[in-house]
Every structure is written in structure tokens, then in C-alpha cells.
Homo-oligomer: A and B are copies of this chain.
Amino acid sequence: MVSAPFGRVVVCGVGLIGGSFALALKRQGLVREVVGLGRSRASLEEALSLGIIDSISEGWADALRAADLVLLAMPVGSMTAAMEAMAPHLEPQTLVTDAGSTKRDIVEGIYTHLRAHLDRIVPAHPIAGAERSGASAATADLYQGRKVVLTPLVENSAEALARVREAWGACGAELSEMSPQEHDRVFAAVSHLPHLLAFALVHDIAERANSDELFSFAASGFRDFSRIASSHPEMWRDICIANRHALQAELDTYLSELAWIRALLAQGDGPALEKLFTDARDARNAWLAGHFKA
């Protein structure tokens, strides 16, 4: 698929996510010029020196002049303020997409602040969490083979949707589409809740009087279970707050599951526990076999 290049692409928040998007478009020859903006001057300087962006913009008025595509790649909690700030300067030809891990709140922000531009704002969520962060961690192939979920607005024009799909597709991503509500329910279940549970367990143990003893006997099972509790606190605060309704619903379902398991323990019901463990193991192994192909 050969696409017409974008002239000027604006990336707001040039860290791992935004920086990798810029590098991927550059590698594909799909962009003439990348302009970076963001809250940290040091990050922008670094991105500039690494060739991720071609110039640093002082603000939205400057950045959005003759822009073809904007990627919002800042933390979810800063998206709405960014939309408000960019609104007066957004030109009619400029496409907008984002990289937020939640979608309902972002769509709400779009309807509040960018109502005049609904035809060409196509929200997206690249599933590319990584241990590292920052511009220095960005790579052109971060999105290669990863999923990107688009949650198009009903007001999107077919051309805008096609162009934004082209941009993410050029990054090597596997694209899918769903509604913002469905997106938020799905990711509450398979991503946000596990993060919350891992943070909760580590916090629970760290608060004990004998936490040193407990940690000293924690082994590799604990290490892997809790890996996501080393995730970025601010980012996860934003995600949990933005998606708190779906996340609470998932948490409640999980609490019911735990209440049931607690009853099985209290009754000493070995066969029921073994069946539950077997079903879980089989489901996980089937998923693994299909999902993480060698």
C-alpha cells in the first residue's frame, strides 16, 4: 500500500509512543516534517537531537499552522486540556488522532472542545505498552505487529478515517475498530484491572510490619505477577480515573469471583478448586498458543 505522504505532522508528547509513531512514519517516507511540542523542553530537545522531530514548536498556534496530521500522545489526564488549547488554531484540513489508553473520556473531550472538527478526529489506542519510556526509548518498529484499536466517531468522513488508518497501518500495526464504550470495557478487563490488582498486592505487602521478611521469600511467580506494578504511576492514575466506571464494574465482577473462591476455600472444596484452576490453565494456554505465536 503506497500512500501519499503527510506534509507536516505534529506530535504532542514526544515520548515512547509519540516518538515511535514519528520514527515509523519517517521510515516509510510518509512524512515531510515532524513538529514536536510538549510540556518538557528537555524531552523535546532530546527528541530533536535524536532526529525524531525536525523542529520544536512553542505552542499550538505555531504548531498547527498548515498541519496535516496531529497525534496527541500525552498522558490521558492531559488530553482534554490540550484539546481546549488547540481548538482555536485547528485548521480545516488537519486530521487528528491520539494514542490514549482510554477512549470514552477522550471522545467526551472531543465533543466538548472540538465540536467543529468531528469529521476528521479519529481516536486510536495503540496496544504497545513497554517497560521503558521517553523519547530515547522510541523505535520505528514499536508498533510492528501490535494492535491499534480505532474508535471512529459517527461524524468522521470516510477520507479522514482512511488517512488515519493509513498512518497507523504504515507503522506496521494490525488495525481494528470498536465503539469507545466497548473499547473501555474490554481494556478494563484485560489491562486496567490486572494493573490495579498487581499494584494492590504489592502495596498490601509493602505496608506490613514484616514486609522485608515477606519480600525476601517472594520468588519468580511473584515477580511476573507484579511486573505491571512497576508501571508509571501517573499514567495509571490517569487511566484508572478516566475509565473508572468500566473499571469499577470489572472490579465488582472480580470481587464476586473472589467471594466464590473464598467460599470454596472455607468449605475445603478441593474438586471445585481443581476444576476452576484447570479451566483457567486451559483457557490461558489456548490463548497463549494462538496469541503469542513463535
- Chain A residues engaging chain B, CB cutoff 8 angstroms: 77, 127, 129, 147, 149, 186-187, 189-191, 193-206, 208, 211, 213-231, 233-234, 236-238, 240-241, 244, 247-248, 251-255, 257-258, 261-262, 265-266, 268, 270, 273-274, 276-281, 283-285, 287-288, 291-292
Measured CA separation A244–B203 after assembly (Å)? 22
Chain B's closest residue to A272 (CB) is B237
Once A194-B222, A277-B237 are accepted as A-B contacts, the answer to whether A217 and B268 lie under 8 Å apart by CB is: no
Measured CA separation A281–B205 after assembly (Å)? 12
CB-based contact A225/B222 at 8 Å: no
* Additional pairs, 10, CB under 8 Å, beyond known A196-B261, A202-B283, A218-B287: A191-B222, A194-B221, A199-B277, A203-B280, A206-B283, A225-B227, A231-B281, A240-B265, A241-B268, A251-B265
A213 to chain B, nearest CB (A): 7
Contacts of A214 in B (CB 8 A): 186, 189-190
CB-based contact B223/A225 at 8 Å: no
CB-based contact A248/B219 at 8 Å: no
Contacts of A226 in B (CB 8 A): 194, 284
CB-based contact B216/A189 at 8 Å: no
Once A274-B237, A276-B203 are accepted as A-B contacts, the answer to whether A191 and B221 lie under 8 Å apart by CB is: yes
CB-based contact A129/B220 at 8 Å: yes
Chain B's closest residue to A206 (CB) is B283
12 CB < 8 A contacts A-B:
A186-B214, A186-B217, A187-B217, A194-B225, A197-B258, A200-B254, A200-B257, A200-B280, A203-B283, A225-B225, A233-B274, A237-B274
CB-based contact A273/B237 at 8 Å: yes
A16 to chain B, nearest CB (A): 14
Once A129-B221, A186-B217, A196-B261 are accepted as A-B contacts, the answer to whether A283 and B248 lie under 8 Å apart by CB is: no
Chain B's closest residue to A204 (CB) is B257
**From B204, B222, B270, contact of A253 by CB (8 A):** B204
Measured CA separation A251–B259 after assembly (Å)? 10
CB-based contact B257/A215 at 8 Å: no
CB-based contact B225/A257 at 8 Å: no
Once A218-B291, A262-B248, A268-B244 are accepted as A-B contacts, the answer to whether A197 and B187 lie under 8 Å apart by CB is: no
